[in-house]
Structure 1
Amino acid sequence: MSNLSRLLKESWTLVEEQQDKLAKYFYARVFLNNPQLRELFPVQMDVQRSRLLGAIVTAVQTVDDPDRFAEYLQSLGRDHRKFHVQPEHYDVVGGALLEALRVFAADQWTLEFDQAWRDAYRVIAERMIAGADADSSNPPYWHAEVLYHERRSRDIAVITCRPMHPLEYRAGQYVSVETRYQPRLWRAYSVANAPRKDGSLDFHVRAVGAGWVSSALVRRVRPGDMIRIGSPMGQMTLDRRSTRDIVCVAGGTGLAPIKALIEEMTLANRTRWVHVFFGARDRDDLYDLACLDRLAARYPWLSVVAATSEDPDFPGEHGNISDIVARYGPWRDHDFFVSGSPTMVRSTLRTLVELQVPAIRIKYDAFGDS
């Protein structure tokens, strides 16, 4: 660990238990000093408050490995064009962040800590600004028309939309989505299909209790509505140079990027076996299992194992999907893709460590609407 990384992590422990208060203070300073910036943010700030601060802190603390995260930060900069972020806004945010850290660390804050956060934030801002500048040929976001809206279960919908202008992405990536029902409130959703000639995109969305965007997408959006879509992000994509067989582990609507990867494989795969493990609470949440089974019947290289954790009468596997993956191993020589809730992803990653799967062969995304 470098001295910079040590200083960042050590200083964060001074305020970590107060991060909710720190986030409120941070936004208060941003808006007090620059009231015109308030209109860039959603009316409901409860979720946004923790998201932005969390993203900043995570990015700053990864500055020790800039090459690994350069692509991520550049794509984050491209994505932030949808908020109409300008280069001068980075100075505003950086200044408010440092002021909040000083206040909540109080007399434990040192000049060394201050300089470390200044240096780290400068690197992050430069990467993001460069990413935004390099993407000037694309719009800051895409308008898309909803073509189909199908309820698959009590709280899951599959939505198909078509952007008004071409949107280039790779299977396995995700985008952020905004609806007219909650302006300026964006949430990340994986695209559930490989790129198509007609440019249409599928999204698998679960409405969750505190999910402003997910509830609107599942319960209010209808064909003909317009939504807005941000720049593609994420590195959970196929390594086309690899010849290793593949294991995909999906929890609930985490199936979306896995479905896109399978679709890409159907276009060219001839040599790699693909094993899909699809887990959910009950059979209703296995909302796309019939389609997976049809794909497995058509392509000999694809196998599907479905499991429920709270449906004892389900005619398949029972238990947590990570435990079931372990029972079907060994998997030491496979490439892994993992997608689902943060809890499900963490559980699966722990299992893969126990199975001695090299971390370099595991790709995953974990995000939700709340």
Structure 2
Amino acid sequence: MLKESWSLVEEHQDKVAGYFYARMFLSHPDLRELFPVQMDVQRTRLLSAIVTAVQTLEDPERFDDYLRALGRDHRKFHVAPEHYEVVGGSLIEAMRAHAGEQWCIEYDQAWADAYAMIAARMLAGANADQNPPYWYGEVVQHERRSQDIAVFTVLPMQPLEYRAGQYLSLEATAYQPRLWRTYSPANAPRRDNTLEFHVRALGAGWVSSVLVRRLRVGDMIKMAAPMGSMTLDRRSTRDAVFVAGGTGLAPIKSLLEELTRYNRTRWVHVFFGARTREDLYDLAELNRLAARYPWLSVVTACSDDPTFAGERGDISEVVARYGPWNEHDFFVSGSGAMVRATLRKLAELQVPSVRIKYDSFNG
């Protein structure tokens, strides 16, 4: 019934989202200050998170993990238990308003029951988290690697525990308060607690452009609880393939750094793709690692640079030229389009999906 009723409004998601926020802010004006000033990107985020949760109902374990992590993450917004009821009521009203005459009381009840379960799991995750809702960190290094790519290092004011391959939400507090975007640290946890981030400014991206073009050494940023499951299984003895597109290299480098601390038996192949040579912004460091660790090999490719001496084409196509890969563990990180293309190619190459971990991002 949930999927059936969602199909009635799916084509009108923007209108549903607009009504949802309007209803919520009209009934509880105090909630407006929890959200960013610019709502254009935020508009669909909360709605899509709820819909994703509902769509995982058939996978209870994944459903539970996803919602508990979401609840922990939402602590950064200062969400209180009573806010969940407001959100649920506004959601159902928004869907009812745009579904037309086919909406019925049974749909109301199905969404109310599902949302109650969602809220309970999120609250359980939030309540079980002993960490602060977010960490403050000082930018101690900032380097522009190209016109639209920056690499910067942050020192948290208190230790922040995470696993290599996970991602964090960042807020550039002084420039775009209450606007968060997710980025993966490019290093495994270190003794000095510093985290390195790789960011590309995407068009007029509210956060990415700030992090690349305006952030300075000495600025403070906020970092929320780590999320994501693209982590290493130390029990695996299979060789590994890392496929990175653009700044999707960040979590791949984090995983590589962890491997340098213990790996002696697994061959590791890194495929790093970008549009032009300039976009291979961290190639020198990758080559340094490959020279130091005999188990590591690096293949680079450009999709739109006729002067590039290495491989040409989309990185998913380049991966297919090597192999065979059906006995390897895969880790894929990059834009949504790059990840989807790579997953399709790996399916054609008969790589079992259970051996593929991936991290798709748009910022």
TM range (shorter): over 0.9
Match of 1:170 among 163, 179, 189: 163
In 1, Cα distance between equivalents of 2:58 and 2:106: 16
In 2, Cα distance between equivalents of 1:314 and 1:257: 25
| Counterpart for residue 135 of structure 2 | 142
Contact 1:72 1:234 in 2 (8 A): no
Match of 2:54 among 60, 64, 85: 60
Secondary structure of 1:76's aligned partner: helix
Shift in Å at residue 258 of structure 1? 0.2
What is the percentage of aligned positions where both structures have the same residue? 73
Secondary structure of 2:119's aligned partner: helix
**Structure-to-structure mapping, 1:250-261, within 5 angstroms:** 250-261=244-255
**Structure-to-structure mapping, 1:138-287, within 5 angstroms:** 138-179=131-172, 180-287=174-281
Deviations along 1:166-209, one digit per CA (max 9) or x if unpaired, are: 10000000000001100000000001100000000000000111
TM-score by length of 1: 0.96
In structure 2, stretches of 5+ residues that fail to align are none
Pair 1:329-2:323 in alignment: yes
**Structure-to-structure mapping, 1:24-103, within 5 angstroms:** 24-103=18-97
| Counterpart for residue 290 of structure 1 | 284
Amino acid at match of 1:344: M
Amino acid at match of 1:10: E
| Counterpart for residue 302 of structure 2 | 308
Shift in Å at residue 138 of structure 1? 1.3
Shift in Å at residue 60 of structure 1? 1.3
Shift in Å at residue 11 of structure 1? 1.7
Farther-moved stretch of structure 1 (329-338 vs 253-262): 329-338
In 2, Cα distance between equivalents of 1:194 and 1:12: 40
Secondary structure of 1:114's aligned partner: helix
Contact 2:268 2:296 in 1 (8 A): yes
Amino acid at match of 2:225: S
Shift in Å at residue 54 of structure 1? 1.0
In 2, Cα distance between equivalents of 1:70 and 1:307: 39
Shift in Å at residue 83 of structure 1? 0.2
Shift in Å at residue 329 of structure 1? 2.0
In 1, Cα distance between equivalents of 2:78 and 2:235: 37
| Counterpart for residue 9 of structure 1 | 3
In structure 1, stretches of 5+ residues that fail to align are 1-6
Amino acid at match of 1:149: H
Amino acid at match of 1:327: R
Secondary structure of 1:244's aligned partner: coil
Deviations along 1:32-72, one digit per CA (max 9) or x if unpaired, are: 11100000000000000111111111111111112123222
TM-score by length of 2: 0.98
| Counterpart for residue 4 of structure 1 | none
Secondary structure of 2:207's aligned partner: helix
In 2, Cα distance between equivalents of 1:315 and 1:113: 59
Amino acid at match of 1:360: V
In 1, Cα distance between equivalents of 2:112 and 2:306: 54
Contact 1:63 1:123 in 2 (8 A): no
In 2, Cα distance between equivalents of 1:119 and 1:345: 34
In 1, Cα distance between equivalents of 2:326 and 2:105: 47
Amino acid at match of 1:24: G
Contact 2:245 2:272 in 1 (8 A): yes
Shift in Å at residue 110 of structure 1? 2.4
Amino acid at match of 1:165: Q
Secondary structure of 1:142's aligned partner: strand
In 1, Cα distance between equivalents of 2:106 and 2:326: 43
Segments of 4+ moved more than 3 angstroms:
none
Contact 1:186 1:213 in 2 (8 A): yes
In 1, Cα distance between equivalents of 2:144 and 2:61: 42
Contact 2:53 2:66 in 1 (8 A): no
Secondary structure of 2:124's aligned partner: helix
Pair 1:357-2:351 in alignment: yes
Shift in Å at residue 210 of structure 1? 2.7
| Counterpart for residue 19 of structure 1 | 13
In 1, Cα distance between equivalents of 2:261 and 2:64: 30
| Counterpart for residue 125 of structure 2 | 131
